[in-house]
Structure 1
Amino acid sequence: MSVTSRHRLRKILLSLITAALVAGYALMLPRQLFDVPYSTVLYARDGELLHARVAADGQWRFPPESHLPEKYVAALVEYEDHRFFHHPGVSLPAVVRAALQNWQAERVVSGGSTLTMQLVRLSRGNPPRTVPEKLREMVTATRIEWSYTKEEILALYAAHAPFGGNVVGLEAAAWRYFGHSPEDLSWAEAATLAVLPNSPALIHPGRGREALQAKRNRLLERLLRNGTLDTLEYTAALIEPLPSAPTVLPQQAQQLAGGLPAGTLLHASIDAALQERAQQIVDHYGAGPLAANRIRNAAALIADVQSGEVLAYVGNITPSSADADDGRAVDIVQSRRSTGSLLKPFLYAALLSEGQILPHTLVFDTPLNLGGFTPTNYDKQFSGVVPASTAVARSLNVPTVRMLAQYNSGRFLSLLRSMGLTTLDRSADNYGATLVLGGAEGTLWEMTGLYASLARSLERYNRAGAYAAGDMHPLTLTPTDTASPAARSSSPTQEDLCPLSPASLWYMFEAMSGVNRPEEEAAWQEFSTMKQVAWKTGTSYGNRDAWAIGLTPRYVVGVWVGNADGEGRAAMTGVGSAAPILFDLFSMLPSAPQWFAEPLGDMESVAVCRRSGHRATEWCRASGDPVDTEAIPRAGMASEPCPYHRPLTTDSTTRSWFILPPAAEYYYRQSASDYTVPPAATALRPLELIYPHHNAILYLPKGFSAGGETATERFVFRAAHRSDSATLHWHLDNRYLGTTRSASATGHTLTVAPSAGEHWLTVVDEAGNSQRIRFTVLPRP
C-alpha cells in the first residue's frame, strides 16, 4: 500500500471514529432522563393542593413543574453551584479545587460536581462514585446543557432531588414539610430545602437537626454577603424554626383524583374553599337524613355558567374506614344513571322552539296506553288537561308522554344527542315513551353541563342579539379563557350553536322557577334575600336515583342521591332527598346580579286565551273568558288557535262554550269548579272511552293462562259522558256485556274478563252516540 493510500485510509478511519463519537455524543441521552413513577396531584385554581396520591414506588414524587420560585433558585445556586449560569455543564475551576482538596485531605471531601452533573447522577440512580463514573457524568452534563435550558435543568433537578424519607422533589417537600406551595417559601424555608438534598437524613428529628439548622444558617449568611438578602430579611430568617413532623397532604375531591391516571398533574378550575364547603354539606346529609333512610351515596357539582368551569366536584360522600363496602369510592359524577324526569324541560323547549305549542297550551292529562305501556303521574291522579308549563313544573308524566308523541321521539333523541348527551346509545323505538320518564341514562357531569350550556346560550343572546359558536360545550375542569371557544374542552359530537330558540329557553327557565321548594324552602318568595333559581328534580323507576339540577345566570348546581349499587329506597325522591342539598349549596353562592332577561328579539306580542293557552279566537273573546296580550316565542305565531272555545246553538241562541273532549272533561271538572258542561245534545262528541284506548295492549298477570277461556283476569273499563244521567250499553265482540246508567265519582265503569287475543269494544248511549275501539290481551312478557 502506498503512502498516499495509507494517508487516505487514516483520514477515513479518523473521520469514521469522529463521526461515531459525535453520533454517540448526540445520541447518548435517553428520550427522558427519568423513568420513574410520579404522584397523582390535583391543585385548585389558586394553586392550593387539593389531593395527592403517593407514586407507585411509595415515594412522594410530584410531576415536574416548569417554573421554580426565585428564592429557592437563588438559595440552591448559591449553595450547590454559584457558577451554574456561566458554565457548560462542567466547571473546571470546581474540578481543580476538588482535586486539590481531596489530595490535601487524602480522601474524597469534594466532588466538584455542578448542578447539571448532579442531575446526571440522579437520573442514573446514584451509582458508586468512581473516576469512570465521574467522567461519564461530566460528558453527559455537557450534552444535557446542549439540549436543555438552564431553567429546565434546574426544574428537573428540583423535581428529583431527595429530601428525606420518601419525599422526592421540591413540590412534595414544600407541601410535606411546610404545608404550602414552593411559591410561598420564606427565605429560611428555601434555604432549608436548598441544603437538604446534600444530607437528606438530617430532616428527621434528633441530633441531625442541629446540623441541618447550622447548614441552613451558613447558607443564609452567604446570601447576606452576596447581597441577595438584606439585614432585616437575614435576621428574620435566622429565627424561623425548622419544620417539625411532615404534614398530612390533603385528600379533597377523592373520587375525582382517584379517576385520574397515575402520575397526572392537574391544575383544576376548582375553588378550594368552595370544594371543602360543598363536601361538608354532602357529608352532613350523608351522615344524617340519607343515612337514616339507608342511602349511602351522593354527589354534587358546582360550575360557572359562562365559562363552564367546575368550581366544586363532590364525587361522593367522604369514604370512611368503617364503611369499606358502601360504594363511596365510586365517582358518581361520571357514573351512568337513570335520568328520571331531567329531560322533560328540553322537550317543552323543543315544542316551543318549533311553535307546536305556546308556553301555557293545555295538554291532555288522561289515561293513556301505548303498546301495553300505561304511564301514570307520580300521585296516580289525572287532571284532564294542564298547561304545558305546569306539566314541566309539576313533572307530570302523562302530559309529557303526550308531548313526546307530538314532537316525535326519534327527533327528540336526535336533538338530545346534538346537544352533547353521549350516553343515549339505544334507538328511539327501544326507548319509546320512557325516554322522558327515566328510561334514558345520563351522567351528572353531562346533565349539569347541558343545563349550563342552555343558560349560557340565553345569556349570550341577551348580550349580543345572537347565539355564538362554542357556547354549547361540556363542563371543564381546567381554567379557560371564556373569550376563546378554542381554549375550552369540547366534544366532537356537539353542535356549536344552541338548537333551541332563546324564547323557548326563557320560558323553560320560567317554568322551572315556579316549582315548589322543599319543605324548608316553601316560603322562599317571601324573603328578599332568597335566590331565584330555575331547578328540576328527577326520580328514577324504583326510587333508585334522585336528582336535582338548578341554575341561575351565574351558577349551575347538580346533585345526585342514591345507592351506587342501584338499591332503591321507597322514601327517596328528587324533591325530598336531592333538592335540599341543592338549595344548601346555592345558599353559599353569591347571587346573580339579575335574572334572565326576556329575549324580546325572539318574541312577538299576541292575544292568548288565558283558559286554553292557545292563540285567542273571536269565540274566546265572546265567551267572556280572559284574553291576555303576551310575548310568545316568534315560532308560536304559526301555532294552532284555540280549539276549545266553540259556538253552540241552544233554543235559537248561539253562544261560545269552552268544550273539552269527554274524557278530559270528566277529570277536569273534578277540580275545576268553574267548568260548565255544555248540553250533551249539542256537543260534538258527548261520549268517550277512557280505558282501554283504541289499539291498546292489555297484559295478563304472570301465572294466568293465555289459552282462551282459561284466562279470567278482570279489567275495569271506563267511559265518560257529558250527561250525568246518560245510560251506556257495552258490547264486546258484538256480545252484550251490560249497562251503566249513571256516572259515579269514577265515571261509567264496567268490570270485564276478556280472553287472550284481539277484541272489539263498543259503547252506545241512549241517543245512538257510540265509540268502537280495538284492543288486544296478551300474557305478561
Structure 2
Amino acid sequence: MRRRRAGNGAERAPRRPTALLWLGLVLALGAGLRDGFDDWVDATVLPDTLAEISVEMRDRDGALLRAFPVADGLWRLQPGAVDPAFVDMLLAYEDRRFDRHSGVDLRAMARAVGQALWYGRAVSGGSTLTMQVARLLEDGTTGQVAGKLRQMRVAWALERRLGKARVLELYLTHAPYGGNLEGVRAAAQAWFGKPPARLDPAEAAMLVALPQSPVAHRPDRHPVRARAARDKVLRLAEAAGLLQAEDAARALARPVPGRMLPFPLQAAHLGDALRAAAPDRLRFDLTLDRDLQIRLETLARQVAQEAGDKLSVAILAADHRTGEILGRVGSPGYADMDGRQGYVDMVTALRSPGSTLKPLIYALAFDRGLGHPETVIRDAPATFRGYAPQNFDGTFRGDLRMREALQMSLNVPVVKLTEALGPAHVMAALQRAGADPVLPGGAPGLALALGGVGLRLQDLVQLYAGLARGGAAPALHVEGGAGAPGLALVSEVAAWQVGHILSGLAPPPGAPAHRLAYKTGTSYGYRDAWAVGFDGRHVVGVWVGRADGTPVPGLSGAASAAPVLFAAFGRLGRAPVPLPPPPPSTLILGNADLPEPLRRFGPDRLRAEGPAPRLAFPPDGAIFGEGPLVLKLDGGIAPFTLLANGAPVVTGLRGRVVDLAGPGPGFSTLTVIDATGRSDRVTIRVK
C-alpha cells in the first residue's frame, strides 16, 4: 500500500474537535448564559410589596367588627385563613404548574403563542399567577411585549426572593374583585358576608372568575356573564377532580350575588377611639361579642326611633368577673340620624348621674357602721347649711328603713348619709372604683349624692361591677385577658347588702321577669335617664337622653332607661346568672333585733321622752266638708312637721293646735313627725 505524502513530504493525521470539547463549549456557554440570567434576575428592582392594608377591629372570636378603607378608598384586607379548596380551584384555573415553574411557565407560554399563531387570535393565556402578581404590583399592561418581558423578569425575581407562599399571599391580597375591592378577604366579605375560610364551591368559583375581568364579571351588574364565568370554573374544577359531580351540580344551580354587601360597622365609636390612640396598628383584637354587639345596636336604634326626635341611647355590657366589655353602643347610629348627633359617643360623654350613686353611698354607710338595711332613717324636710334637698315627687315619708329609702330612691336620707360620711370620702370611693369623676368646681359637696358630679356611662358600669363582684372588680377593658384587679371599694357584706336591696325592685311594666339588682337615675332638668344593673355575672348600663344635653320633658330613668336595661339583659343570649348568697358574716336581722346603735340612724337619734306624737284630731276615718281643718296634737317632742299626702305643709311647729287649708275632695293622709322621728298618721275624706 502506498502512503500519501504531504506536500513537504511528511505524513499527517486528521484534526477534528472531540465530543468532549464540544460539550465543554456548550456547558461554558450555558454557564455563562445562566450566570448572566441570574445576574439579570438578581438585579431586578422589585415593586413595593408592602401596600397599605385596611385597619381591622375583630371580636373575641376573630369575627370582623369594622374595617377602615385605605387611603385610596379601596378595601384591602389581609387574606388571613383561606379555604384550601378555594386555593386548589384557583390554581387549577389560573396556573396548574404553579408549584413546578420558577415564576414563568415557558411551556404554557409556548403553547399560548403557538395557539395564537395557528388560530390568529389568543386562545389561552401564558401568564402565571406570579406574573399576574407582578402586573398587579406595578399596575402594568399585559399586551405589549415590553410589558410582558418586564412581568416575566419581576415574576422570576419575586419567586426567587419571596417564595411561592408569599407570592400566593400577594395575589390573594391584591387581586381585583370589582368596584373598590382588592383581595379575596375583602371580596368574600362584600359579596358573601363571610370570611374566605368558609366559602362554598359556588362562592369560591365566583371569586376565582372575578379577577379575570372584574368589570365584565361583576355579578351585581352583569349577572349573566358573571354566572357563565363562574360555571366555567366549576366545570373545570369537576374535570380536575376537585369537585364531585353532585357538588358541582348543586353549585351550578346557585344564583350569583345580586348586590355588594356593606362592610361591618359595629362598635364604630370604639373603633375611632382605638385607632386614634394607636394609629400605627393594623389589627385590634377586642373582647366584644359581635353577635351581642349587633343585637344591642339594633335595640338602641329601635328605642331611639320609638322614643322621639333627637333622642340618643348608649349601652355598655360587661362581664364583671373578668372585666371584659362584651357590647358597647355609643349611639343609635353612627351618622347624624334625625338630628340625634349619632357621631357623639355617649359611653364616654360626661353627664350628671342622677340618683345612680345612691347604692355606693349606702354601701359605704353600711361599711362604716352608720347603718344597716333595717336601720330606721327619717325622711322629712331638712336643711344642710342652706341646702334643702327635695324628693323627686316632692313628698316625704317620715320614718322608714334604709332598705326602703334606697329602693324608693329618697333624697333626704342619702344626703344625711353623705354628710355623715363626708363628700370627700364618697369622691375617693368613686376614684377607687375606677371612675374618673369631674366636679363642676371646687370641693365635693352634698349635692354629689344627687348627681352633682360629672361621670361617664363607663364609670357607672365600672362602679356597679365592683358592687356586683363583692366590693372590687377588675378594670373594664376591651383588649387582652382579665383586667387588673380593682381596689377594694367596700366590704363583701356591704356590697351584698346593697345588691340584695336593689334586687328587690320590681321590673318595669312589661319587662322580662329577670331578677336583677338595678338602680335608675334622672339628672336635674330631665336631661339624662340612667339604668344600671347586674346579675351574678353580667353588668349593663344604659343612658337615654339628647346628645346636646337639652331637657327632655317626661324623661326618667324608671320610664325611659329601665325597660332598655331589661331588654339588653334579654339580648345577652343566655339565662340570667343568679345573684350570690350572703357572705357568712352578714348580719340578717330585723330592726328590733339589731344592736341599739343600728336601730336608728345616729343623727336622727334624739332622746325620746314621753309618749310618741299623736294626731288627737281629726280621728282616723273622719269625713269633712270642704274648708279649713283644725289639727290637734298630743305627745311627742317639738318641733313638729306636718305632712299632707307626704308633702310638708307645716315645718318647725312648736304649738299643739294648727289651722290647715283643706286638702281638697277625696281621701287624704295627714302625718305628724316629731323631733325624734316618731310619727303618727290618719286618713280622712273630704266630700
For this structure pair, what is the TM-score category when the shorter chain's length is used for normalisation?
Answer: 0.7 to 0.9
Partner of 1:234: 248
Partner of 2:447: 434
Equivalences for residues 344-743 of structure 1 within 5 A: 344-421=358-435, 423-426=436-439, 429-457=442-470, 471-476=473-478, 487-488=481-482, 490=483, 495-520=485-510, 530-589=513-572, 590-600=574-584, 603=585, 610-611=591-592, 614-616=594-596, 640=597, 660=606, 719=652, 724=656
Could you tell me which amino acid in structure 1 is paired with residue 331 of structure 2? N
Q: Is the 8 A contact 2:335 2:343 kept in 1?
A: no
Shift of 1:318: 4.2
SS in 2 for 1:66: coil
Partner of 1:125: 139
Shift of 1:500: 2.5
For residues 310 and 546 of structure 1, what CA distance do their matches in structure 2 show?
22
For residues 583 and 228 of structure 2, what CA distance do their matches in structure 1 show?
70
1:35 aligns with 2:52: yes
For residues 101 and 291 of structure 2, what CA distance do their matches in structure 1 show?
46
Gaps in structure 2 of 5+ consecutive residues:
1-35, 621-632, 642-648, 659-669, 676-687
1:317 aligns with 2:339: no
Could you tell me which amino acid in structure 2 is paired with residue 316 of structure 1? S
Shift of 1:249: 5.1
From the superposition, tell whether residues 134 and 336 of structure 1 become closer, same or farther in structure 2 (CA, over 3 Å). farther
| Cα root mean square deviation, aligned | 4.6
What is the TM-score when the length of structure 1 is the normalising length? Answer: 0.65
- Determine which structure has more spread, i.e. the larger CA radius of gyration: 2
Q: Is the 8 A contact 2:366 2:494 kept in 1?
A: yes
For residues 138 and 375 of structure 1, what CA distance do their matches in structure 2 show?
84
> For 2:91, which of 63, 67, 77 is the aligned residue?
77
Equivalences for residues 137-286 of structure 1 within 5 A: 137=151, 140-141=154-155, 144-145=158-159, 150-204=164-218, 212-248=226-262, 261=275, 270-271=288-289, 274-286=292-304
Shift of 1:64: 1.4
From the superposition, tell whether residues 44 and 149 of structure 1 become closer, same or farther in structure 2 (CA, over 3 Å). farther
Q: Is the 8 A contact 2:184 2:196 kept in 1?
A: yes
Shift of 1:535: 0.4
Partner of 1:697: none
Q: Is the 8 A contact 1:453 1:474 kept in 2?
A: no
Shift of 1:548: 0.6
From the superposition, tell whether residues 720 and 140 of structure 1 become closer, same or farther in structure 2 (CA, over 3 Å). farther
From the superposition, tell whether residues 206 and 165 of structure 1 become closer, same or farther in structure 2 (CA, over 3 Å). closer
For residues 174 and 88 of structure 1, what CA distance do their matches in structure 2 show?
29
Could you tell me which amino acid in structure 2 is paired with residue 244 of structure 1? G
For residues 358 and 206 of structure 1, what CA distance do their matches in structure 2 show?
68
Equivalences for residues 321-336 of structure 1 within 5 A: 323=338, 325-336=339-350
SS in 2 for 1:547: strand
Gaps in structure 1 of 5+ consecutive residues:
1-17, 459-466, 479-485, 522-528, 617-639, 646-657, 681-685, 691-715, 727-742, 749-781
For residues 571 and 209 of structure 1, what CA distance do their matches in structure 2 show?
54
Shift of 1:66: 2.0
Q: Is the 8 A contact 2:470 2:493 kept in 1?
A: no
SS in 2 for 1:557: strand
Q: Is the 8 A contact 1:161 1:197 kept in 2?
A: yes
What is the TM-score when the length of structure 2 is the normalising length? Answer: 0.73
Shift of 1:744: 11
For residues 474 and 461 of structure 2, what CA distance do their matches in structure 1 show?
12
For residues 133 and 669 of structure 1, what CA distance do their matches in structure 2 show?
106
Shift of 1:170: 1.8
For residues 212 and 115 of structure 2, what CA distance do their matches in structure 1 show?
18
* CA displacement 1:361-399 (0-9 Å, x = unmatched): 334544444454333222333445543333322222222
From the superposition, tell whether residues 346 and 28 of structure 1 become closer, same or farther in structure 2 (CA, over 3 Å). farther
Q: Is the 8 A contact 1:90 1:114 kept in 2?
A: yes
Kindly, what percent of the aligned residue pairs are identical?
Answer: 32
From the superposition, tell whether residues 127 and 203 of structure 1 become closer, same or farther in structure 2 (CA, over 3 Å). closer
Could you tell me which amino acid in structure 2 is paired with residue 443 of structure 1? R
Q: Is the 8 A contact 1:283 1:317 kept in 2?
A: yes
Q: Is the 8 A contact 1:445 1:475 kept in 2?
A: no
Equivalences for residues 14-93 of structure 1 within 5 A: 30=48, 33-35=50-52, 38=54, 57-59=72-74, 61-86=75-100, 89=103, 91=105, 93=107
Shift of 1:569: 2.0
Q: Is the 8 A contact 2:438 2:455 kept in 1?
A: no
From the superposition, tell whether residues 417 and 162 of structure 1 become closer, same or farther in structure 2 (CA, over 3 Å). same
For residues 375 and 26 of structure 1, what CA distance do their matches in structure 2 show?
81
For residues 309 and 495 of structure 1, what CA distance do their matches in structure 2 show?
12
